[in-house]
Structure 1
Amino acid sequence: MTLSRRALLARVPAVSAVAVLAACSLGDQRTVVDVRAFGAKGDGITDDSEAIQAAAGALRANGTLRFPRGVYRFAKRWPPGGAAIVISGISDVAVEFDPGAELYMDNLNPTERTGSSHGLLVRGPGSRIALRNVNIRWADGAQRSLGDGIRVEGFPTAGDDPPNGWSGPPTPVDQVAVSGCTVRSSPQTGVVMLGVSGIKVTGLRVTDSGADGLHFNACRHAVVDEFSAVNTGDDGLALVTYFAPGAAFDKESHTFSFPELTEWSNADFTVSNVNVFGCRANGVRLAGATGVGIEGLDVVGVHSGSAFLVDSAEPGTDVGWNYVASKAVRLADVTATDCDMGVHLLARPGASGDQRFTDFDVHVHDAKLDDCATWAVRAESLTGQQTSGLRIDNCSVTATSTTGGNGGVGIANARGISLGDMSIRHAEPVVAFRADNAGQLAIDHLSVAITRSEPPETAPGHVVVVDRSDGVIYELSIGWPAAPSSWIPVRQSAPLAIPSLTVTPPVVTAAVRRP
């Protein structure tokens, strides 16, 4: 017997009937699964957990999971699948929030305020996954713990054997688009992607996350544009691939490690228009990455780290995680204001002399670094084993600090560091440029201007200090209109050459002090 459409719907419970209608195929062959059709109220009070998970479970290929305008409260602790929305083993799907729609994660531990799930979780295998205008907010008071806003777990397929520790079949994820999304107050990372390829992130905003704002591990072929991170608990943007003696997998964290840079070491990234404010670690951090171009980075108020950090760590050093030195990194049009440090190249080599942990390739062009508390620019190795691979062009620094590195430029235990046009403007006659154990240093033009209107009560110190270093500063110009004639602006106890040295005013009788 053939039933009419009216008769069919008459035999179906009311909620299910709406769900059938919501999932009808549209003209473009894409079905829409509406969470309200599964009983979600979206009033911010009702617990919509069951309805949200039922709707997500009904999503199939060529389908869109839709959240109409409203606040959808998810209160279920430790939900099945580990997230409010789980997309596992599906391709050609989308999750879309209408304007004014919000997923409100209210499933924190009521006493400890720790998280019990992620917001949206994508697990491979899967391809062509679009997340549009997803808006997720956690309840107030979340402590750093389980709970990423958006989490994508893939697998770095390179045709080789699976990493050590991997169990089960490969689960690759590729062609993931995240557009216009917002994550607020997540207990862990705002958005994290692990072992994912073909990524496009546009218009993402992360605020008050417990950990990084946007984090990548073992990913490749990515475009990130118009990303902002505000008051995150760790880095604003992090590209981190860990080191292990052999390819390895950590099941608990779903992170991948490699013995060297590979095509999956956060490789082939194009990043533009990034704004970071007030994060508790670094604005942008690269560790174990290759082929990364960043243009348009603005970092303000990072007081516990650097605006831009590129670092390495060999096993046995002072950190729990390890990373090889990053290569083919290009940063252009960067501004840092009121940060602890500006641009920082940091090597933590062990005793082995392994150059994987010391030899970087980082090029910075057009940097404006203002009011950094410690260093505006710092290139260093934490041991006597020298690091290398930093070139900076067209960099201007303004500083007022008189502690740490005085907000200036410092090079220590490094070789082959190259600076183009470097200008430093400081409010006080303190060390603004320091080189210590720097080999083959090459600086086209270094200018230091002191703005203090009168000499200090005590004898002013040197503003350029060079120890145990060789190479050349082709042009060095130093100016301080209020300088006393007794001022000696340069202290040099090294064979570094300075073919052209200009000091103003001319009343200064001795420009350089040598041992």
Structure 2
Amino acid sequence: MRISRRALLAGAGAAAAAAALPGCRRGRGVVDVRAFGARGDGVTDDSRAIQAAAAALRPHHTLYFPRGTYRFAQRRPSGDAAIVVTGVSDVAVEFDPGAELLMDNLDPATHTGTSHGVLVQGPVSRIALRRVNVRWAADAQRSLGDGIRVLGRPDGGAPVAGISLTDCVVRASPQAGVILMGASDIAVTGLQVAGTKADGLHFNGCRRATVDDYRAVNTGDDGLALVTYFSREPAFDTDSATFSFPSLTDWSNADFTVTNVHVTGGKANGVRIAGAKRVAVNQLNVTGVHSGAAVMVDSAEPGADVGWNYVASRGVSLKGVVAANCHTGIHLLARPGASGDRRFTDFDVAVDGAKLDGCDNWSVRAESITERQVSGLRLQNCAISSVSTTGGNGGVGIGNARDISLADVSIRHAKPVAAFDTVNTGKLTVDRLSVRVDQP
């Protein structure tokens, strides 16, 4: 049997890559994008080579990007992404520490995106993304284009399970940095996102996930969002690829553990939790969020005059929240309609060990936008310090609420302004609240 020189060299390159690949396991095949013609020089259009390499993935293969900058310039590619993983399980996508995927395929007339960076779509399982590094080449308008997009189906039609992201980086994407929808058994570790036009890390309709050591800088929307939408019947919106349910389910971003998260800047909230169930957030640090809250936990019933609807979250634990120089610290917000449906007012949120400094508005705010009272906030071991003289003045504000409890809460304010305020509030429990005002 004759083997061509090109095939021999490609095989030798793959063997060398397998030997050098840090995450390569014995018996796992390596699909090296350079063996398919990718140059990685930041100038050559490597689109076809990248797509061919991704199409060659088989179970127990690793798609490998050696050191270099791989320019993807093809607009509106087949599959809507530079790298598409669908219908094949037990695979990995791994970048060398010096490798980068450069997305250079914006529409030149509108500066809008024409594809995602990486798309993982069901049915698949046991997919590992290691050190995936995606950057858009130009300043894009908010439009199509997530850095990493994972799409499954909770109804079992196209399941996605066993997804891991390790030390990945996304910069300047036209939409979200990383978005996962309808996926289960997820592990996100060491993710860094900066300059996205939408959320940094977004979950919708997922279950059983861990997030650890996540950093978001100057995102166009929430730094971290756990959002599952409301509809009268379980539904999937094909246009937005989002899931919605009539009540909290085990797919309502349920059973999440989030630790060691840092959010700096951004145009919405540091962390947003809406329509979620059994979520534990530990060691959250949010700085410089001037257009929203460090932590927003909210609901919205149809008719509440907002674009999206979601029920009240339950089983939410926030421990070790540190917020500095934000518009609002921790905000519990209900937007009920006229029905009196308690799915939109009855929360279960426990905050323990919060340190909130320099909030322009309320440091802690629990409110309903109507007289239908919001409920279910427990706050303890909370230290507040503020110098604000506008808005809620940096203290604690409770409006149209019931079943709110405060324990070991201290408020230190530089100026004599309202530091603690309640309106239309019942069943309020306060144990050890201290207020100190520095100026007369």
TM-score (norm 2): 0.97
Structure 2 distance, partners of 1:431, 1:253, is 43
Structure 1 distance, partners of 2:121, 2:364, is 40
User: How big is each residue's C-alpha offset from its partner over 1:111-153, in whole Å with a ceiling of 9 and x where there is no partner?
Assistant: 3211000000001000100000000000121111000000000
The residue that corresponds to 2:22 in the other structure is none
Structure 1 distance, partners of 2:10, 2:301, is 55
The residue that corresponds to 2:421 in the other structure is 434
Report whether the alignment pairs 1:382 with 2:380: no
Structure 1 distance, partners of 2:206, 2:218, is 25
User: How big is each residue's C-alpha offset from its partner over 1:265-323, in whole Å with a ceiling of 9 and x where there is no partner?
Assistant: 00000000000000110000000000000100000000000000000000011211100
Structure 2 distance, partners of 1:373, 1:175, is 41
Residue type of the alignment partner of 1:9: S
Distance 1:381 1:359, change over 3 A: same
**SS at 1:232 equivalent:** coil
**SS at 2:363 equivalent:** strand
Residue type of the alignment partner of 1:183: V
**Where do residues 14-413 of structure 1 align in structure 2 (5 Å cutoff)?**
14=6, 16-22=7-13, 28-157=26-155, 170-413=157-400
Structure 2 distance, partners of 1:243, 1:392, is 27
The residue that corresponds to 1:421 in the other structure is 408
Distance 1:22 1:251, change over 3 A: farther
Structure 1 distance, partners of 2:423, 2:92, is 54
Structure 2 distance, partners of 1:228, 1:311, is 23
User: How big is each residue's C-alpha offset from its partner over 1:396-447, in whole Å with a ceiling of 9 and x where there is no partner?
Assistant: 1111111110111100000010011111000111101000001010010111
Which protein has the larger Cα radius of gyration, Structure 1 or Structure 2? 1
Residue type of the alignment partner of 1:219: C
Distance 1:157 1:20, change over 3 A: farther
Structure 1 distance, partners of 2:8, 2:76, is 29
Preserved contact between residue 250 and residue 256 of structure 1 (Cα < 8 Å) = yes
Q: CA deviation at 1:157?
A: 3.7
**SS at 1:404 equivalent:** coil
**SS at 2:49 equivalent:** helix
Structure 1 distance, partners of 2:194, 2:69, is 18
Structure 2 distance, partners of 1:86, 1:260, is 33
Residue type of the alignment partner of 2:4: L
User: How big is each residue's C-alpha offset from its partner over 1:85-121, in whole Å with a ceiling of 9 and x where there is no partner?
Assistant: 0001110000000011000000011132110000000
Distance 1:432 1:188, change over 3 A: same
Structure 2 distance, partners of 1:318, 1:18, is 62
Structure 2 distance, partners of 1:44, 1:255, is 34
User: How big is each residue's C-alpha offset from its partner over 1:439-474, in whole Å with a ceiling of 9 and x where there is no partner?
Assistant: 01001011110112xx4xxxxxxxxxxxxxxxxxxx
**SS at 2:106 equivalent:** coil
**SS at 2:372 equivalent:** coil
Structure 1 distance, partners of 2:341, 2:197, is 34
**SS at 1:110 equivalent:** coil
Give unpaired runs (5+ residues) of structure 2: 20-24
Residue type of the alignment partner of 1:71: T
Structure 2 distance, partners of 1:22, 1:32, is 10
Q: CA deviation at 1:336?
A: 0.4
Structure 2 distance, partners of 1:183, 1:264, is 26
Preserved contact between residue 22 and residue 32 of structure 1 (Cα < 8 Å) = no
User: How big is each residue's C-alpha offset from its partner over 1:235-274, in whole Å with a ceiling of 9 and x where there is no partner?
Assistant: 0000000000000010122111000000000000000000
Preserved contact between residue 42 and residue 71 of structure 2 (Cα < 8 Å) = yes
How many residues align structurally? Answer: 433
The residue that corresponds to 1:488 in the other structure is none
Q: CA deviation at 1:23?
A: 5.4
Structure 2 distance, partners of 1:448, 1:384, is 28
Residue type of the alignment partner of 1:45: V
Structure 1 distance, partners of 2:285, 2:303, is 34
Q: Which has the higher contact order (CA 8 A, sep 6+)?
A: 2
**SS at 2:415 equivalent:** coil
Structure 2 distance, partners of 1:125, 1:23, is 27
Structure 2 distance, partners of 1:432, 1:131, is 47
Residue type of the alignment partner of 1:323: Y
User: How big is each residue's C-alpha offset from its partner over 1:351-375, in whole Å with a ceiling of 9 and x where there is no partner?
Assistant: 0000000000000000000000011
User: How big is each residue's C-alpha offset from its partner over 1:33-88, in whole Å with a ceiling of 9 and x where there is no partner?
Assistant: 00000000000001100111010011111000000000000000001100000001
CA RMSD of aligned residues (A): 1.2
**Where do residues 478-489 of structure 1 align in structure 2 (5 Å cutoff)?**
none
Distance 1:345 1:89, change over 3 A: same
**SS at 2:88 equivalent:** coil
Give unpaired runs (5+ residues) of structure 1: 159-169, 456-515
